[in-house]
Amino acid sequence: MFAFSGFGARAAQGQPRPIAAADAIARAAAGELTVIDVRDISEVAQSGKAKGALHIPLMMLRFQADPSNPDFHPELDPQRPVALYCASGGRSQAAGQQLIQLGFKEVYNIGGLGHWVAAGGETER
């Protein structure tokens, strides 16, 4: 028999873990999770964003999520759980990798805004 220690919720170091949209919605509503929309401003203008989510476009994330950067977003905390989404999950996966590299401890990928909406999550403009 082979033992795969460490294989499971975090299969690869440096990768955000998947989270069901319903779980992200519940944890965000309870104040246990910061949700970040990493889509471009034009996408958010067209469809809105998850209610209560921070909007930090992927191209700005490295600056706004780095505690040593003067542009660090005041509502982010590397010790607090964070869940990201984009349109389909690809950019939020890349964004999650960036956050882990910057020292964020608990990082999740919701996937796309459609996952949030399908699970009953509210949106806002």
97 with 14: CB under 8 angstroms?
A: yes
Average pLDDT of the chain, as a whole number: 91
Beta strands in 3-73 (DSSP E): 17-18, 34-37, 49-50, 54-55
Rounded distance between C-alpha atoms, residue 100 and residue 17, angstroms: 11
Question: In Å, how far are 1, 79, 111 from 39, measured between CA atoms?
Answer: 44, 23, 12
- Determine if the pTM surpasses 0.85: yes
Average pLDDT rounded to a whole number, residues 30-57? 98
109 with 96: CB under 8 angstroms?
A: yes
What's the pLDDT at 12? 55
- Its CATH class, for the domain covering 17-124, is alpha beta
Average pLDDT rounded to a whole number, residues 27-46? 98
Average pLDDT rounded to a whole number, residues 23-40? 98
Confidence of residue 13 (pLDDT cuts 50, 70, 90): confident
